[in-house]
Chains A and B, each alone.
Chain A
Amino acid sequence: MNELPQQLVNGLLLGSMYGLVAIGYTMVYGIVQLINFAHGEIFMTGAFGALTVYLYVLPDGTTMWIALPLMLVGAVFVAVTVAVGAERFAYRPLRTAPRLAPLITAIGLSLALQQAVWAWYPNAKSARTFPQIEGGPFHIGSVTIQTGDIFLFLAAPISMAILAYFVMKTRTGRGMQATAQDPDTAKLMGINTDRIIVVAFALGAAFAAVGGLAYGLKYGQIDFRMGFILGLKAFTAAVLGGIGNIYGAMIGGVVLGLAETLATAYIADVPGMSQLGGQSWANVWAFVLLILVLLLRPQGLLGERVADRA
């Protein structure tokens, strides 16, 4: 059986999830040059927000087709609230501090959010099961697509299109571009940069929340640590695609997802490489790819749109 089409779909799905989270890293970096390491935990709180809506807001037995949009709203609401709160109380007081200060703050915040969910969310000390969409998998030729993956397949490109429209066409979006290029001049031109920064955090959080909901639907479980590794991968995707570039984040995510999946599936079949294949080596190959890309194109795959900042 030829498993290549299936593996490509697996990689594309994994990559889309990385991309959704990577957008948050790249937008915040593009505007305030902060690596928001708590972003993985924003993704995690989004997933728990969706679960909360399903478990404690909706009546028992609501079908997923009605529950899903409300869970999305809940996920986005929780994630955006946490992100905006983090910006207001953790990052804004440090806006003029040396760069390492907000970075360490972000790592601290990441730990704090994990432990808060661990301590206070009911039964979150081990993984919690996430509601699943009814219905069997779909078969297209030799490719199987799970019902839970449909959401991710639709949500990723739609989110991307909305984001592109927002950044390119709306007044706030253009304000974001201006702030990214030169915050001081943007301020002189009458742009409220504080507001723009909040919007960047909120947008990034909203995409992470979509990713969090997709994660729950795909794997059927969420836990308080889910954001840590995934956040690191998404950050890698953002660097791979060119940090600061929103299209780069999505491309970087998909490339990373495909690289991991294909490395798992095929490296072991290369003669003499059987010891270096399999899933436990997938990360190694993904990072080999990252190093190669950064050696040849230090600005990432799509470069950086705001390179004239310096």
Chain B
Amino acid sequence: MPGKGLLIVRQRSLIAITAALAAGALTLTACGSRDEDKGGSDAGGGGTTVVIGVDAPLTGDLSALGLGIKNSVDLAAKTANKEKTVPGVTFKVEAKDDQAQPSSGQANATTLVANKDVLGVVGPLNSSVAESMQKVFDDAKLLEISPANTNPALTQGTEWNGGTKARPYKSYFRTATTDAIQGPFAAQYVFNKAKKKKVFVIDDKKTYGAGLAATFTDEFKKLGGKIAGTEHIDPDTKDFSAVATKVKSSGADVVYYGGEYPQAGPLSKQIKAAGAKIPVVGGDGIYSADFIKLAGASGTGDLATSVGAPVEDLPSAKEFVANYKAAGYKEAFEAYGGYSYDSAWAIIEAVKKVVEDNDGKLPSDARAKVTAAAQNVSFDGVTGKVSFDEFGDATNKQLTVYSVEGGTWKAIESGTYTG
């Protein structure tokens, strides 16, 4: 039967294609870390070199946020070198690209651990990436401070919502506030101040997005609001027309989106195009200039909450903004610039304490000592007072609501969420 023979050949070639495709997809996720800065170590003071690692998405659609993190850490290191904050120690930055993929993040963590000069790491951006890195760093007792992770479980354990908080990793800290605060904060604003009572909740099923959407939903229901519908989107696509049509027919008067701006922008645009002229509200993941670009003119009135007070308005931040400009970075510092600077500075402060306690030299078990010292750092940073509680969370629990007006994010109000 010649027909059958042909069929088998086709099947086989399809298997080959599938295998090749899988290989292709793997290559895509694995080709990170091209940003190894090897040259140009300025031997300032001729002393020890301490490397601050950075892990963030430096390529791909979240790179706007990631490059802002990298540049801000770089600025902190340069400032510390210039001011000789830690005498005899020169700080260098080694940035790794995780492409927002947990697998790349873990590979980067292993690489950073292997470099003995690395005494602290700033990053990552994504909570899902952090989950894959925490254990690697903790096993090496290497200090990790994230400027952006907001998932509560990272510091308080998976049972955080059931009342039994337990810190899983002693080496993990963050300068960002958690979703346990951010989601309810947004719910209270939407319900009490914006007077929206029927919400359509959408998330991207990632650690960050789903967690944020869940804490928002709980609080919104508690306040007496109605959930008009829920939907989970596929972050790999840009076609949300089917979802947008569902939002319109649900009769909701506001949309809450747990996720990041590459999807949130088009989603907002398509919801409005479908005829539902209602605001889209999101967390710090959509608080980016790129969101406004992607959402287009119809995005006016969309809201975002972000951690801390607006960086540009804090007096302590004016200097950071000016220095950032003077350093001439190509990319903006974006939502996490101030937090990244503070994260890097917390590492620098911890190193300083350890060096001072050891007669101006780095001890042999520097990593463990630096991690222990980080628990007690306290200084006035770009975003306000920087210090950590017993879980490694920032003690600064301020949040701000921003709204899209005239093509930029305008701060509407700042506040702290208190249960």
Contact = CB atoms under 8 A, between A and B. Distances in A.
* Binding partners A and B: yes
Contacts of B273: 137, 144, 146
- Chain B residues touching A, majority SS: helix
A7 B239 CA distance: 12
A279 B17 contact: no
Interface residues of B, number: 55
B103 interface: no
A131 B249 CA distance: 29
- Chain A residues touching B, majority SS: helix
B23 A265 contact: no
A126 B290 contact: yes
Contacts of A1: 248-249
Contacts of B265: 127, 221
Nearest to B273: A146
A35 interface: yes
B24 A229 contact: no
A10 B242 contact: yes
A7 B249 CA distance: 11
Contacts of A137: 273, 275
Contacts of B160: none
A111 B59 contact: no
Contacts of A100: 16, 20
B241 A13 contact: yes
A213 B237 CA distance: 17
Interface stretch (B43-51, B60-68, B178-186): B60-68
B236 A127 contact: no
Given A261-B242, A279-B232, A144 B275 contact: yes
Nearest to A5: B245
B322 interface: no
A186 to B, nearest CB: 19
A203 interface: no
A35 B17 contact: yes
A219 B245 contact: no
B167 interface: no
Interface in A4-31: 6-7, 10-11, 13-14
A14 B16 CA distance: 28
A103 B20 contact: yes
Nearest to A114: B28
A260 interface: yes
Contacts of B275: 137, 144
B7 interface: yes
Contacts of B61: 126-127, 223, 225
A125 B274 contact: no
Nearest to A233: B237
A261 B237 CA distance: 12
A107 B20 contact: yes
B296 A220 contact: yes
B373 interface: no
B242 A129 contact: no
Interface in B265-309: 265-266, 269-270, 273-275, 290, 293-294, 296
Given A111-B27, A126-B290, A279-B231, A220 B266 contact: yes
A226 interface: yes
B16 A280 contact: no
A103 B16 CA distance: 9
B262 A127 contact: yes
Contact of B241 (A10, A99, A232): A10
A280 B234 contact: yes
A221 B238 contact: yes
Interface in A37-93: 37
B114 interface: no
Contacts of B64: 125-126
Contacts of B236: 229
Interface centre among A107, A118, A225, A229, by most chain B C-beta atoms within 10 angstroms, is A107
Contacts of B246: 3, 264-265
A13 B243 CA distance: 14
Interface in A100-123: 100, 103-104, 107, 110-111, 118
Contacts of B3: 307, 310
A264 B238 CA distance: 14
Given A103-B17, A118-B59, A310 B5 contact: yes
Given A103-B17, A111-B28, A221-B265, A310 B242 contact: no
Given A126-B61, A264-B242, A279 B20 contact: no
B419 interface: no
B13 interface: yes
A52 B128 CA distance: 36
B239 A14 contact: yes
B189 interface: no
Interface centre among B230, B242, B293, by most chain A C-beta atoms within 10 angstroms, is B242
B318 interface: no
A107 B23 contact: yes
Contact of A7 (B234, B242, B262): B242
B24 A226 contact: no
A216 B231 CA distance: 25
Contacts of A33: 13
Contacts of A144: 273-275
A280 B2 contact: no
A228 B21 CA distance: 11
Interface centre among A144, A229, A279, by most chain B C-beta atoms within 10 angstroms, is A279
Contacts of B23: 107
B24 A110 contact: yes
Nearest to A239: B14
Given A220-B296, A280-B233, A10 B20 contact: no
A250 interface: no
A10 B232 contact: no
B6 A310 contact: yes
Contacts of B59: 118, 125
Given A126-B290, A264-B243, A279-B232, 5 more contacts: A1-B249, A6-B245, A129-B296, A144-B273, A281-B232
23 contacts: A3-B246, A3-B248, A103-B16, A107-B23, A110-B24, A111-B31, A118-B59, A125-B59, A126-B61, A146-B273, A219-B270, A221-B238, A221-B265, A221-B266, A225-B60, A229-B236, A265-B245, A278-B230, A278-B233, A280-B234, A281-B232, A282-B234, A310-B3
